[in-house]
Structure 1
Amino acid sequence: MVAKTGGVREMTEEIWRYREEVHRLARQLCRHREDAEDVAQATLLKAAQHLKEFRGEASLRTWLHRIATNECRMLRRRPTPLSLEQLLETAATDDAPPLGLPEEAPDPEEIVIEAERRRLVLQALQRLPERYQTALLLKDGEGMKEREIAAAMGLSVSAVKALLHRARLALRKELQRHGLVTS
């Protein structure tokens, strides 16, 4: 694949173009900012180191998502105690991307309600099995198509569709349990 695209340098530059997307995905997959930074860095490094192994059967984007997903899984398997600083930072920050400035000043109460709602949804999402989290984040968070998710997760397209359906049902059940959605 490297030869088809013009060489290692061009492919390395192409990988670099995806760095923000890789960082965003890592922030969504990982529970802590430091872990997300580590996963994103490891993803980009591994992609560059293993560039000659990229066969081009999937898109470069899908390949990078697969590496990031695997890096996050490996990180989760390692038992690491949380420091007080990590706990406080996780509770105090909101990693959601800015949505732009509104035309008029928002109601402070609405801001607090929306922040709490987002926190509860993220908590509900984190209580789901890892495969459900990954599928939902790739589909809804990254806007990937089912075939891209299938390639990233090593599944068939029909398995991804079923997985997304089950993940959404499980998330809805979690949200209903906490009164965030009605049946």
Structure 2
Amino acid sequence: MRNFVDSDPKNKANPSRNLLHAAQNGDRDAQEALLELHLPRLRAFVRLRADPALRAKESSTDILQSTCREVLQHLDQVEYRGEAALRGWLHTVTLNKVREKRRYHFAEKRRPDCEVQGARDSQLGDAYSCLCSPSNAMIHDELVERVELAFDELSPDHREVISLSRIAELPIKEVAERMKRSPEGVRKLLARALVKLSALLEPGDALPGR
């Protein structure tokens, strides 16, 4: 695969711009590089938005692969309007795929051994690290396990606001539009959600499933 590192300092803040244009013109290396650039956050988003019943039915890797195929199929419809807008589109496609898979599968209790190998992906730990304070620093495997178990204990609104603002890194204004709340309401909701998540992640606490 060709090296798509851009040395132009003007493009450092917009790493996806040139990749997207090349990918839309059918450049397969650019398509792969574009997906790889956003894959860690998309993988984390899938794992946190897929509930235990869905994760027991289908691996996050399979859901992500299906998402990537759909992204490539509709890439020609995307107009580059900045990194935040592109992330918003990618995570919308991803969320719709999670919802589609949830509708397809009937509910079933999560198997304790589900996705053990995937949980050891160091990129997940990197993505989840934004949810933890320095005092809650953990090794990757422990971090991935505790974050996912803790996330399952949050309310739907708390899961949504954290995944959109911290994992998808969408601006508060866009999160507010998606959640049909005011920006100030989203800020307060996010603060409460992070406090709850932090409490669940305290090393001394025994999380459900441990």
TM-score range (shorter-chain normalised) is 0.5 to 0.7
1:1-183 equivalences under 5 Å are 5=21, 7-10=24-27, 12-13=31-32, 15-18=34-37, 20-21=39-40, 22-30=42-50, 31=52, 32=55, 34-57=58-81, 59-77=85-103, 78-82=105-109, 86-89=111-114, 94-95=119-120, 97=122, 115=142, 119=145, 121-140=147-166, 142=167, 144-147=169-172, 150=175, 153=178, 158=183, 159-171=185-197, 180=205
Partner of 1:106: none
Cα deviation for residue 133 of structure 1 reads 1.6
Cα deviation digits, residues 43-64 of structure 1 (max 9, x gap)? 2111111223224355323311
Q: What is the TM-score normalised by the length of structure 1?
A: 0.59
Q: Secondary structure at the match of 2:122?
A: coil
Amino acid at match of 1:50: H
Percent of residue pairs identical: 20
Unaligned runs of 5+ in 1: 101-110
CA shift, 1:126, in A, is 0.6
Equivalent AA in structure 2 for residue 136 of structure 1: I
Cα distance in structure 2, aligned partners of 1:37 and 1:93: 8
Q: Which runs of 5+ in 2 are unaligned?
A: 1-16, 127-137
TM-score, length-scaled by structure 2:
0.53
CA distance in 2, matches of 1:154, 1:42: 25
Call closer, same or farther: CA 1:151–1:49 in 2, change over 3 Å: farther
SS in 2 for 1:123: helix
Instruction: Determine the C-alpha separation between the residues in 2 that align with 1:46 and 1:161.
Output: 32
- The number of residue pairs the alignment matches comes to 163
In 1: Cα distance, 2:109 partner to 2:87 partner? 31
* Structure 1 residues 169 and 180: alpha-carbon distance in aligned structure 2, compared to 1, 3 A threshold: same
By how many angstroms is 1:16 displaced? 2.8
Residues 149-175 of structure 1: CA distance to partner in whole angstroms, max 9, x if unpaired? 629946678154233123224435666
Would the alpha carbon gap of residues 47 and 122 (structure 1) be closer, same or farther in structure 2, given more than 3 Å must change?
closer
1:37 Cα shift? 1.5
